[in-house]
Chains A and B, each alone.
Chain A
Amino acid sequence: MKNPFENLDKVLEHRVRLQIMSVLITNDGYEFNALKDMLGVTDGNLASHIKALEREKYLSVSKSFVERKPNTKYKITERGRGAFRKHLDALEAVVKQQK
């Protein structure tokens, strides 16, 4: 039998990144501060994980101004959606194999 561990996505092994992707897959666009509240993490922590996901092109960033304040919104990409789904399948397989 194939080893399900091989299908796990290294980038998504971080729980914060996994949580960011979970929020983005259920919502069509989410902004930085709302994401920070949802996850309960610090600015720096969130920013560094978002950067990692952006580098993989798992999410896209759009910057705009709302009432003269900068507003940064994130969206999951098709590539990110596929990677998340694959990682989720692998997680389930790993857990199932142990039972």
Chain B
Amino acid sequence: MKEIPEYEKDLASIRNMMERSAKFISLSGLSGVLAGIYALAGAITAYYIIHYPISPFHYRIYSVNAPETLIKLIIIAAIVLAASLSTGLWLSHKKAKKNGLSLWSPSSRKLLTNIAIPLVTGGILILIMLSTGHFGLAAPASLIFYGLALIQGSANTVDEIRYLGFSEIILGLMSALYPGYGLVFWALGFGVLHIVYGAIMYKKYDT
């Protein structure tokens, strides 16, 4: 028979194993903050391409109709996405290594498959919208589908991701109500929200 503190340790280790094996906890908060900064930089560049010198809060809808502007915007979005993904992978890999975990685990695989379904669906829909000239709903759709993907994935990672998902959906719906302000909502959703939630996660889990 073991001593009582040993049984308490048993209970603690059960809890620890259940959490560690079910959830991907190596997600780096700092990479969220950086992704937000990249998105803001991207949004500012996009503003100079399509709106400048008109204020970003000024209503415009005809701005992206020129094909060369659209291509420039798609390139900016692709650079922001690539930079965010590689920063996220790199910092999460570092964090996983520090905790003696592997980045490629059953929980991270589950997280990725869950996220991929709404994300790929939304991505294809947005490409269809852009190719058929429905520019007005591209920004709201990207926020809404991203939010849905986060909620779908939140079962397999930290709780903050769920709240981030809900915030993105609300912002996306508001953005759909105010067409022409896509860039502002996009900057809020992918820039400001990432910085806020990334900072919360960094403070809670990384330090």
The residues of A with any CB-CB pair to B shorter than 8 Å are 5, 13, 15, 18-19, 22-23, 25-27, 30-31, 34, 37-40, 88, 91-92, 94-95, 98
A23/B18 in contact, CB under 8 A = yes
Q: With contacts A27-B21, A92-B11, A94-B7 known, what are 10 further pairs, Cβ within 8 A? A: A13-B2, A15-B10, A19-B17, A25-B18, A26-B17, A39-B17, A88-B11, A88-B14, A91-B7, A94-B4
Contacting residue for A26 out of B2, B4, B22, CB 8 A: B22
Listed residue (A18, A26, A31, A37) with the most chain B CB atoms within 10 angstroms of its CB: A26
Q: How large, as a class, is the contact surface on chain B?
A: 20 to 34
Instruction: Name the CB-closest residue of B to A93.
Output: B7
B11/A34 in contact, CB under 8 A = no
A23/B21 in contact, CB under 8 A = yes
**C-alpha gap A92/B8 in the complex (Å):** 8
Chain A residues within 8 Å of B13, by CB: 15, 18-19, 22
B11/A26 in contact, CB under 8 A = no
A38/B10 in contact, CB under 8 A = no
Indicate whether A23 sits within 8 Å of B4 (C-beta atoms), given known contacts A30-B106, A40-B100, A91-B10: no
